[in-house]
Structure 1
Amino acid sequence: MIQHGCEAAPCPQTSKPWVLAAAIIGSSMAFIAGTVVNVALPAIQRELNATAFQAQWVVESYALFLAALLLVGGALGDLFGRRRIFALGVLLFALASVGCALSGTVQQLILARAVQGIGGALLVPGSLALISANFTEKERGRAIGRWSGASGITAAVGPVLGGFLVDHYAWTWAFLVNVPMALAVLWIAWRHVPESRGRSAGNGLDVWGAALATAALGGIVYAFIEAPTQGWHSTPVLAALTIGIGGSLAFVAVERRVRSPMLPLSLLRIGNFGGANLLTLLLYAALGGGLYFFPLNLIQVQGYSATVAGAALLPFIMIMFALSGWAGQLVDRFGPRLPLMVGPSIAAAGFALFAVPGVGANYWTAFLPAVVVLGFGMTITVAPLTTTVMNAVGEEAAGIASGVNNAVSRAASVLAIAVFGVVMAWAFDAALAEGLREAGASAQASAFIEGQRSKLAGAALPPGIDAAAAAALKRAVAESFVAGFRRVMLICAGLALLSALSAWVMIGRGPSKARAAVPRPR
């Protein structure tokens, strides 16, 4: 029998710890999948003989489907049962994780990661929905706080664990670690989690919106990732770009007319909500796109182990975890506008600091200051941003407002990684040509390295050359990657400053008031 949330059929007190455990472990799987792969990418690229652009697809195929289908996953839970859809997502995620580990080619891995993203889109919104459905209003804040704290710990431990597994075993274990977690979640969900549906379960599902969002993001991402190798004038790239732009326009048109839109455009006309989401788009593009290249720099250029690279952002996470309570009070004291200007501005300084280190940089003196400054800037931003999003709309629209903001942040990262890949390829190629000339590389060696350009810092050296020539060529490749990394980080700094500017222009000075209810179906 379907229960309609705890207000109608209270969740047994003995089941609540199990519900919280299922939500925490389930969401942790998605967090780990989103962070651990960046650390494993150099090993994946090397062992599967993948280009840098194929390695991008390993990340993007997961993130693309997760971003495009996130809101649909929440709606499916309301329609067909939150526990059922959550468990289906966990099962699909686990099977895809096994598929990732068994992949013998990079193409198989990309496909398995796409399926993993679909599973993630079902389980991520379901984890919080289970808490909302099974805890009373008085209990909900504490439960979400525990969920959030556990998520912070997962974000910290995930990359370090992944790096350790890559260094001491194989990159496949970075995926297989999800399987025992999934089995535990499925057992808990089957035995202890009550079923529930949302009050809006009768409003239907925005199938066209989901399909067009996937086509729009997928087309644009494909065009930017494949353009460096196929060329902007190639038929597949032009076709993908056309699909992406056309899908975006069609998505807006459909969302204006569909009865239950996955993205209610009326919400974006609310000043603080529209401003907060524009800020999210710009700042999380910088964060997701820039930090994609950071582990590659540490491992392939600086020579750090995967474990050390996984631990490199620990200070960032610790700062956010330690100061989140203080940051949560900033909107009450100063209103949303000031912290949403100051935080991204500090983050911009952090991104600029990432552009300073060269080849052979020491983490403690070169990268740690950038990580700390970026962490402090994001700490000032995140809690006030979330508060602004939630306060900008009415209580009935709070769930969809949170979902939209989450989807915007993930879509921003998907698009940024693709676009920054083009910037990196352009800068790398230009710097490599100059570096090979300065290194006095022979015509044969230069031709060999030129043929390896698509692997960026993972490029192999010509066989049979002496140690001195190998060292010179290796340094030329490393410096070329750093040249691209610097340009990417400076773009990230510019995006962060633009996000601060968007807050100054669009966010109100005083405390934001709820000004919108759930959009009425047309």
Structure 2
Amino acid sequence: MSQRQRFFMMIAICLGAFLSHFTAGIVNVSLPQFTYIFQTELAIAQWITTGYLLVIASLLPFMGKLGDRYGHRVLHNYGFLLFTVSSVLVAFSTTITMLLALRIVQAIGAAMFQATNIALIAILLPKEMRGRAMGIMSTAVALGGMTGPIAGGMIASWLSWEWLFLIHVPVAILATGLAFRYIPSHEQTKKVSSLDLVGAGLFMLLVSLIIIAISNGNGWGWASQGMLILFGGVLVLVWAFVWWERRQSVPFLPVAVFRLSAVSSGLFISFTSFVLANLVLVVLPFYLLNQAHESPLTAGYMMTAYPLLLALTGPFSGWASDRYRARPLIFAGLGAMGVGVTVLAIWLEALSTVEIIAVLALIGAGMGLIASPNNSYIMRHVPLEHAGAIGGMIALTRNAGMVVGAALGLGMMNGESSQAVQPTIDAYRAVFEAGGLICLIGLFVWWYAGRLERQKKRGAEVEKA
């Protein structure tokens, strides 16, 4: 592959990573507006965002598996096409039902290229370039998540609602053209003999129920009848999925790969880091507005310190992981995030505006040190025939971690959402103390996984001797 082709391939992949997170957040500000436009309830309008994220999260491993079977390029590029066409069609919706249906189609397209982009980088780029490439992609993800709500607010103020779904279409068309032109086809290393559709369906239902339960726990009440039914359904699906998978010669999830400590610990760190980051990102704005009495504009500017440092640190950490070891970078990133939440837990009231920005920057830099080295580290240990499935699982841990972090933070801060009393400073401290505990668990798991790897290497050396 020439340098020019590699350059434009990365632009296409990064534009996809940007767009999928940009479109996830662009609608949030305008949800109340949709209740008036389509004469519906807010509980239904919220599914414009919730349904989009739920469909993506539940389909990621399945789409990764399809990429392993039929080709990652095929899934990735046709996902772009489906995403682009549905983005145009959703803007012409005449009813809320039509809008939600087309939004689901858009989410299916986004899941197709989200699940396969990491696999494409791992397969098509030389080993010494993968970390930097994944760092650049992490920057695109951060920028998409940061600019989506900002663009949504501007469109809500100045333009009609249709532009929420049309504003990104020119970029999507460009990305689609670049993907078909510059992402090369590649031979599959192994053709899977069969696709476990029953296992895939059970896993998608399981992920959907877990995310619905976590997302609604604070609103419904964790001990409410609806939540108990959902948790009962989760237990039944877990049992059914395990029972079915044990009887399959080619199970939906590559169990043998998950037995590798590098893969299982890497996925755990991916999940943990996004729980920690989203816990801070969801809760801290409430403190800035209600306790520090910052204006919404000032609070918004302060919060951008996190994605900016993530965007700056990501490519550097990816480059460093290509040349040096990834494990120390990930350990340092977890440590930086842990220091940040510990500072918030102990000195929150005493921190000035500049100091809060510095803490957010530290947490963002820590996340930047984790994301791309961890993704590269996981994929380095994955057989190529499972690259799509594990790439989809990485994306799933990212989405699931964000959902769990938000639910945990809001739940600890407010209890049930029906409470009108503003959270006390002790409630905010409790959230950040929980974040510190989560970080300690992550550090221990990462240390222990490294210990297991070192023991395995010593054992292999002894056998050779």
For normalisation by structure 1, the TM-score amounts to 0.69
> Please, which of 78, 88, 91 is the counterpart of residue 78 of structure 2?
88
> Please, which of 44, 50, 59 is the counterpart of residue 31 of structure 2?
44
Amino acid aligned to 1:261: P
Distance 1:52 1:514 in 2: 56
1:252 — aligned with what? 242
Amino acid aligned to 1:499: G
1:303 — aligned with what? 295
Unmatched tracts of structure 1, length 5 or more: 1-10, 434-478, 516-522
2:146 — aligned with what? 159
Q: Structure 1's 343 and 428: CA in aligned 2 closer, same or farther, altered over 3 A? A: same
Provide the aligned length of Structure 1 versus Structure 2.
448
Which structure has the higher relative contact order (CA within 8 Å, separation 6+)? 2
The SS at the match of 2:210 is helix
2:168 — aligned with what? 178
> Please, which of 494, 497, 505 is the counterpart of residue 437 of structure 2?
494
1:64 — aligned with what? 54
* Residue 73 (str. 1) matches residue 63 (str. 2): yes
Distance 2:90 2:232 in 1: 31
**Matching of residues 260-271 of structure 1 within 5 Å:** 260-271=250-261
1:407 — aligned with what? 396
> Are 2:115 and 2:395, in contact at CA under 8 Å, matched by a contact in 1?
no
> Please, which of 348, 363, 368 is the counterpart of residue 374 of structure 1?
363
> Are 2:317 and 2:373, in contact at CA under 8 Å, matched by a contact in 1?
no
* Residue 423 (str. 1) matches residue 412 (str. 2): yes
Q: Structure 1's 203 and 116: CA in aligned 2 closer, same or farther, altered over 3 A? A: same
**Matching of residues 28-427 of structure 1 within 5 Å:** 28-34=18-24, 36-37=25-26, 41-45=28-32, 48=35, 59-98=49-88, 113-130=103-120, 135=124, 138=126, 142=129, 145-146=132-133, 148-149=135-136, 151-153=138-140, 155-156=142-143, 159-160=146-147, 162-167=149-154, 169=158, 173-189=163-179, 195-196=185-186, 198-232=188-222, 234-294=224-284, 302-305=294-297, 308=301, 311-321=304-314, 323-324=316-317, 327-328=320-321, 332=325, 336=327, 340-354=330-344, 357=348, 363-365=353-355, 367-393=356-382, 400-426=389-415
Distance 1:102 1:299 in 2: 37
Distance 1:43 1:427 in 2: 24
Query: Displacement of 1:14 after TM fit?
Result: 7.7
Identity rate, percent: 23
Task: Give per-residue Cα distances to partners, 1:416-473, cap 9 Å, x unaligned.
Answer: 434444334417666x44xxxxxxxxxxxxxxxxxxxxxxxxxxxxxxxxxxxxxxxx
Distance 1:422 1:398 in 2: 36
Distance 1:308 1:103 in 2: 34
> Are 1:131 and 1:144, in contact at CA under 8 Å, matched by a contact in 2?
no
The SS at the match of 1:409 is helix
> Are 2:135 and 2:314, in contact at CA under 8 Å, matched by a contact in 1?
no
Amino acid aligned to 2:15: I
Query: Displacement of 1:271 after TM fit?
Result: 3.2
1:24 — aligned with what? 14
Query: Displacement of 1:163 after TM fit?
Result: 0.8
Distance 2:342 2:317 in 1: 24
Q: Structure 1's 61 and 350: CA in aligned 2 closer, same or farther, altered over 3 A? A: farther
Amino acid aligned to 1:422: G
> Are 1:348 and 1:496, in contact at CA under 8 Å, matched by a contact in 2?
yes
> Are 1:209 and 1:255, in contact at CA under 8 Å, matched by a contact in 2?
yes
The SS at the match of 1:199 is coil
Distance 1:192 1:393 in 2: 25
Q: Structure 1's 12 and 98: CA in aligned 2 closer, same or farther, altered over 3 A? A: same
Distance 1:384 1:150 in 2: 12
The SS at the match of 1:480 is coil
Unmatched tracts of structure 2, length 5 or more: 459-465
Q: Structure 1's 294 and 173: CA in aligned 2 closer, same or farther, altered over 3 A? A: farther
- Larger of the two Rg values belongs to structure: 1
